[in-house]
Amino acid sequence: MSDPDRETLEALSRDYSDTPRRCLFVFGSSGEPVAEIFRQLLQLPHSTIDPQHLEEMAAGSRCAVTISTPMQMVPEIVRSLSRINVAIYQVTLLEDRPSPEVVRG
């Protein structure tokens, strides 16, 4: 990773704006408790997720999800999943620029 790339990514950790960014979360298990964490996220402005993905998570058939949320919510999501003993295998920023608004749950 070049220094400009590293600097850009490090700057995201200081992004306290409400600008949503697309992120991929991959976790070890799903079910109603996992879906509930993401449902709570949708109560906040500027966060979106496909409602079908929420249903699949609740049913236990989806262990990866793409969401749009402000960067400062990512550590909160990780903490919330960790509290209920859900293994997190990957969190990936899919876009380093603001994402368009998508379907709100």
- pTM as predicted: 0.81
| pLDDT at residue 97 tops 70 | no
The answer to whether the beta carbons of residues 63 and 27 sit under 8 Å apart is yes
Exposure string for 16-48, b = 16+ CB within 10 A, e = fewer: eeeebbbbebebeebeebbbebbbebbeeebbb
Domains belonging to the chain, first-starting first, are 19-93 (3.30.70)
Residue 102: the pLDDT is: 45
Mean pLDDT for the chain overall: 87
Residue 4: the pLDDT is: 67
Question: Closest Cα to residue 34, out of 15, 53, 12, 7?
Answer: 53
Cα 15 to Cα 7: distance, rounded to the nearest angstrom: 13
